[in-house]
Structure 1
Amino acid sequence: MTTVSTRTLSLGEVRALAKTVLVSAGMDASGSDLIAKIVTCSERDGPRSHGLRMLPVYAQSFSSGYANGAAVPKIEKIAPGVLRGDADNGYYQIAAAAARQELIALARENGIAAFTCANCHHLGGLRFDTEPLAEAGLVALAVINSLSMVVPQGGLRPVFGTNPMSFACPREGAAPVVWDQAASMVALMDIRMAAAEGHELPRPAGLDPAGNPSIDPEAILETRSLLPFGEHKGAAIAFMIEVLGAALAGGTLSVDNKERESFDALNIKGGATLIAIDPERFGNAAFGEYITRICAEIEGNGAARVPGDGRLKKRAAAEADGIEVSTGLLAQLDALAGV
């Protein structure tokens, strides 16, 4: 494995650096605050592939003119429990934050509510959109489709994006249960990080130029053909997210890359759906006890852990000790920030 020189940054320094890079790339004050926070939380909780390493991709989307750095999302109520958003060619997280309070109110009023959004970009973890809803006492499910690079089981070319999903629910006396995962075996940025750090992947995650499953990140990056997790089962999940994301919201299908290619961007203007459920309106007064019991059956069960809880240990360590960042990445980010 290649030895990588690093420097330790506090979370405050990570956020300040992210903010500077985003503003230098053309993002406005409010949008850059939100995305810088998400970048910092990714460095803090993981996966770090969605943290500082994502900043050059954000910057490219603005400098190329592909994304709107001063987007003003439009949110419209189109049914008693449905909000529809147009992100103004900006980042989805900004639109989701703008819709959050109304979505929470609609879920509490109706028992369930949904927010769909199109004309949006997304780079990062979806859990930052579900976790605030769980903190408000709601159950949340989020999906978004992305650039086609996942090959359907038995297929020869990519059809689906890594098509991430996130789930969150409140937990009595503790942080919410929150998990976030891609429909691919490994997220693209994790493969890029493995290539940058000079190590192989722990399991085959994509196809090499000969069409064989590979653990070599460089070979997978050459083909941009990733494998779905769980073989045909993961491909089915990716299909579902294509429907719930792009089709339901009216976003760009993962295979429609023409505009993206003209800007040499890493993402497409996909579609997102965020569903919020108020457990208090579903008739089970013991909902919280059920969650406690489920978690108790997992904890202490060998090496098992509640999905997403690994982030809490990472969070505590990062808050206490800071984050080690490669000096090569820092040099790249300083250049983008104009330092």
Structure 2
Amino acid sequence: MSARPDTAVAQIAFADLQALLQRIFVCHGCSAAVAQALAFNCASAQRDGAHSHGVFRIPGYVSTLASGWVNGQALPEVEDVASGYVRVDAQGGFAQPALAAARELLVEKARSAGIAVLAIHNSHHFAALWPDVEPFADEGLVALSVVNSMTCVVPHGAQQPLFGTNPIAFAAPCAGSDPIVFDMATSAMAHGDVQIAARKGELLPEGMGVDNKGEPTRDPQAILDGGALLPFGGHKGSALSMMVELLAAALTGGNFSFEFDWSQHPGAKTPWTGQLIIVIDPAKSVGNRFAERSRDLVRQMQAVGLQRMPGERRFREREQSAKEGVTLTVAELEQLQGLAG
């Protein structure tokens, strides 16, 4: 009998994938609440075609939990700091449950004051960032979030890595259509995409990273083995990455990307840093017109020839997954079933 090709695929309903992932997280030490938050985020990324943050991440979660680096049972402590400010100590756990614990208060403050800030520290974020902000746009709010990660990016003009990939996510309502949502690393490429390219044996485009001698390379494994990524856009991306460090770490009380040491926890993969979320109620400024103005801008961008809006591909993938199921390779599905016990 011939071996099954690695490219053989299977479809699974989103709810079934989420339930399977939730079982994995519980099996490997997470509380039910933590497992639910992480499973939804990971399943959503897979459903929407963001494979670098989908089920690809599960082995990293499992090894991190096994290492004792992260507290899968953590109960976040929410502090009502001021009229427009909420602070959360994630207690060495994941950032998503910390956001969930503070979300209702954050929205209440944003609607009351017009703007509110959520500062999360002592937290681990290993997932896509857009699921953290998109739900606010679904409620008619505008949201911006930043999170720093582990050192793997050389600042523009420097000789050694210092920053993380340090993503920025944004979401805003748009009348008559899906919200405007984007999530982008401030590095030239997401670290997960480098890992996937290395696994597939593919070369990267020019300008993504350097090897351990600081020489430009297209080899993803060379970047992972002591090399580093570059910021996108040279000094511009580097400046944005610095901004993320200041907002997500210095402002929240979290660690900078270079401050934590996981060397005593073999298998640890999750950065122990911080996250900042800013939520704005546009009704305080322009009433109900903001979503309509968003639609006007989108239409004008399309009129000048833009073929695809930022984040549009995810919504198309989501629609297809709703009809056909979420796509996994058979090998991935079997691995998940094995991890679920």
**Bucket of the pairwise TM-score, normalised by the shorter protein:** over 0.9
Distance 2:203 2:6 in 1: 15
Following superposition, the deviation at residue 284 of structure 1 comes to 5.8
The answer to whether structure 1 residue 233 and structure 2 residue 233 are counterparts is: no
In the alignment, residue 97 of structure 2 is paired with which amino acid? I
Alpha-carbon distance change, 330 to 195 in structure 1, aligned in 2, over 3 angstroms:
farther
Q: TM-score, normalised by structure 2?
A: 0.93
The counterpart of 2:131, out of the listed 124, 128, 131, is: 128
Query: Paired residue for 2:264?
Result: 262
Following superposition, the deviation at residue 300 of structure 1 comes to 5.0
Alpha-carbon distance change, 218 to 326 in structure 1, aligned in 2, over 3 angstroms:
farther
Following superposition, the deviation at residue 29 of structure 1 comes to 1.1
Bigger drift between 8-17 and 64-73 goes to 8-17
The counterpart of 1:150, out of the listed 146, 149, 153, is: 153
* CA offsets 1:232-272 (integer angstroms, 9 cap, x no match): 100000000000000000001111132x2221322321111
- Residue aligned with 2:26, SS: helix
Q: Report the number of matched residues.
A: 335
Would the aligned equivalents of 1:97 and 1:129 in 2 still touch at CA under 8 Å? Answer: no
Query: Paired residue for 2:166?
Result: 163
The answer to whether structure 1 residue 118 and structure 2 residue 121 are counterparts is: yes
Percent identity reads: 39
Matches within 5 A, 1:318-337: 318-337=321-340
In the alignment, residue 156 of structure 1 is paired with which amino acid? Q
Distance 2:221 2:86 in 1: 42
- Residue aligned with 1:282, SS: helix
Bigger drift between 294-303 and 187-196 goes to 294-303
Following superposition, the deviation at residue 292 of structure 1 comes to 1.0
Bigger drift between 92-101 and 275-284 goes to 275-284
Bigger drift between 20-29 and 301-310 goes to 301-310
Following superposition, the deviation at residue 201 of structure 1 comes to 2.2
In the alignment, residue 220 of structure 1 is paired with which amino acid? I
Distance 1:164 1:138 in 2: 20
The answer to whether structure 1 residue 189 and structure 2 residue 219 are counterparts is: no
* CA offsets 1:269-310 (integer angstroms, 9 cap, x no match): 111110000111124653223211111012254353221111
Distance 1:107 1:26 in 2: 34
In the alignment, residue 233 of structure 2 is paired with which amino acid? G
Would the aligned equivalents of 1:147 and 1:266 in 2 still touch at CA under 8 Å? Answer: no
Q: TM-score, normalised by structure 1?
A: 0.94
In the alignment, residue 207 of structure 2 is paired with which amino acid? P
Would the aligned equivalents of 1:43 and 1:323 in 2 still touch at CA under 8 Å? Answer: yes
Distance 1:279 1:86 in 2: 28
In the alignment, residue 157 of structure 2 is paired with which amino acid? G
Query: Paired residue for 1:58?
Result: 61
Distance 2:329 2:207 in 1: 26
Query: Paired residue for 1:8?
Result: 10
Would the aligned equivalents of 1:184 and 1:227 in 2 still touch at CA under 8 Å? Answer: yes
* CA offsets 1:134-179 (integer angstroms, 9 cap, x no match): 1111110000111011100121211111111100001112221111
Distance 2:145 2:218 in 1: 29
In the alignment, residue 9 of structure 1 is paired with which amino acid? Q
- Residue aligned with 1:270, SS: strand
Q: What runs of 5+ residues in structure 1 fail to find an aligned partner?
A: none
Distance 1:112 1:6 in 2: 48
